[in-house]
Structure 1
Amino acid sequence: MGYIAPESPISDYDRDVVFFEGDLEELDFEVLQKGMELGFILEQRQTKTGDIEWVARDVRKFVAPPEKKVIPIPTSTKSKANPESPVNIYPSSYRTFLEKLSDSLKSIEKINDSGNFEDAVFSLLRLLGIHSVYQYSRDAQAGKADGFFILENLAVMYDCTLRNPFEEYKKDQIENYIHKLSNKSQLTIETRKADGGRGSKTLQIQGKSRQVWIITKGNTRELLVYDSIKVKEVAIKDLITITIEHCRELSYDAEHLSSKLVMLGD
């Protein structure tokens, strides 16, 4: 076991990052030296005492990217549209990766099939960093929510819809969702498994902030509050924006993410 001092500080964390010999890639523990530049993937874990600790995975020797090279195009192969344009042989940058990721996520807004939209929302919530998110079984799903998730002190029952407007159509369902979340210390849901089967999960929601989300292609807003349960329309475009921001962050802070989601539409 050893420790790495990160080049950039990790938010709300003032210690070095721990690593283990088994996470070294193409490196022997004996050749490590103080001051050596290393590349690694950060992973957060909880210690036996309940503290949060950052761990370095896939640790390898840092290799600086090659300098950007520009090679002029020979006269015989110059573009007719822009004869002076050079050929850029520099590999795709991180910025390009983020732009492509952003474009890919935004394509969710173009989905017009309700089942595909529901699956895309579930995947987006996972990418956002919500690990305790569950899809309800689609067997006899009429009138039921599409999923449920817990993040820190936030518990959300969500329903995806392509209808616009949706308020009158979803009125009875919203009342049913509120009833399911009211005055309960735990919630048992029927879940959808990866192999298409069904399962069940009992989740503790005592003391958590409870919300109902109707996820749409519209605009994020608060619809009503009943018995401290907030019902909101949450725009898929806003979830996409938060996901992209999350991908740019150096560290994962579940509490910060939870606070951001709690405040959506307020």
Structure 2
Amino acid sequence: MELVSEGYHRFSTTKLRFSGYVKNIFTNKKWGYITLEGSTQELYFIAKEVEDNKFESLKVGDAVTFTIGESEDGRRFANRIQLLDVDQIEQNDTPAELLPTPITCNELKNQIIEQFKRIVHTTNSSEFEDLTFLLLKNLGIHYLYQYDKRNQAGRADGFFIIGNLAVMYDCTLREGFEEYKKDQIENYINKLEQAQLTFNLRSSDGVQKKKTLRIDGKSKQVWIITLGQTREISDYGNIKVKEVSVNHLIWLLQERLHRDVIEEDDLALNLLSRIEKFIPA
């Protein structure tokens, strides 16, 4: 801290510079107020404390830096005021070494796929369910519903409709799940045989509401989504039960990301139908 003589006043000032903006300015009276950044504190200043004779060009809202002085009577004020060049701030605000490297579209696509490939490393059933739901959403399935986990006993993990296909799906990390999930699969089939399904949905504000979807006349399947292989487990006439590998869903997403045109019918008829190609004849 140094002592500075200002006419018949003596005041102390620090060399530390602060940031703020011009709150008020009274051009005719040659003084104004600056608000300290991150604070409501206002500091008085006079024209001759604005460096480079820029007082006349100051406007309300201008960004400035300054030191803080304190007079003998304890009054704090701004001095050695410098007007900041906003364009220069925007250019130099982030050090060059911290600026993000531009990414190409293909690089972004590959990063998305690589992130989803990490699904196969999870050992948490709830996490596997949530990641699978996110994967299905990114495939472009709009009529997609995830059951409330707090009331999920005996229920599937979710349900979706795409085109003319209605699928009730369940996610499992368990190997050899057929016998374990036998009763559940039969329950899913019985539900799909109905003309409509009703879901309890929870909105973002926590309010629960019911959603009813008609599924009569649609092609219906039960999917057990696993880390294993894609295959047909059983055929109940009008309802097929399949094991679907999450790896093949990731492959479908990769196909979707690299195609120029994707519509819902295209996804339903062409992309999802490719799952059949993984099933041995």
TM-score of Structure 1 vs Structure 2, range by shorter chain: 0.5 to 0.7
Unaligned stretches of 5+ residues in structure 1: 1-88
The equivalent residue for 2:108 is 97
The equivalent residue for 2:168 is 157
Give, as a single letter, the amino acid of the residue that structure 2 aligns with 1:169.
Y
Unaligned stretches of 5+ residues in structure 2: 1-99
Does 2:266 match 1:256?
Answer: yes
Distance 1:108 1:208, change over 3 A: same
Distance 1:176 1:214, change over 3 A: same
Higher fraction of strand:
2
5 Å-filtered alignment, 1:20-31, equals none
CA RMSD of aligned residues (A): 1.9
SS at match of 2:151: coil
TM, length-normalised to structure 2: 0.59
Distance 1:234 1:193, change over 3 A: farther
TM, length-normalised to structure 1: 0.62
Count of equivalent residues:
177
* Partner Cα distance (2:246, 2:202) in 1: 22
Give, as a single letter, the amino acid of the residue that structure 2 aligns with 1:164.
E
The equivalent residue for 1:110 is 121
5 Å-filtered alignment, 1:183-262, equals 184-194=194-204, 198-259=208-269, 260-262=271-273
Q: Contact 1:124–1:240 at 8 Å: present in 2 too? A: yes
* Partner Cα distance (2:205, 2:187) in 1: 29
SS at match of 1:169: coil
* Partner Cα distance (2:217, 2:274) in 1: 18
Distance 1:262 1:231, change over 3 A: farther
Q: Contact 1:223–1:232 at 8 Å: present in 2 too? A: yes
SS at match of 2:156: coil
The equivalent residue for 1:134 is 145
Give the greater-gyration-radius structure (CA).
2
Q: Contact 1:220–1:232 at 8 Å: present in 2 too? A: yes
* Partner Cα distance (2:223, 2:274) in 1: 12
| Cα offsets for 1:60-99 (capped at 9, x unmatched) | xxxxxxxxxxxxxxxxxxxxxxxxxxxxx98432222222
Q: Contact 2:113–2:253 at 8 Å: present in 1 too? A: no
Does 2:150 match 1:171?
Answer: no
Shift of 1:189: 2.0
SS at match of 1:232: strand
* Equivalent position to 2:156, from 145, 149, 160: 145
5 Å-filtered alignment, 1:66-105, equals 91-105=102-116
Q: Contact 1:189–1:201 at 8 Å: present in 2 too? A: yes
Give, as a single letter, the amino acid of the residue that structure 2 aligns with 1:264.
I
Q: Contact 1:136–1:192 at 8 Å: present in 2 too? A: no
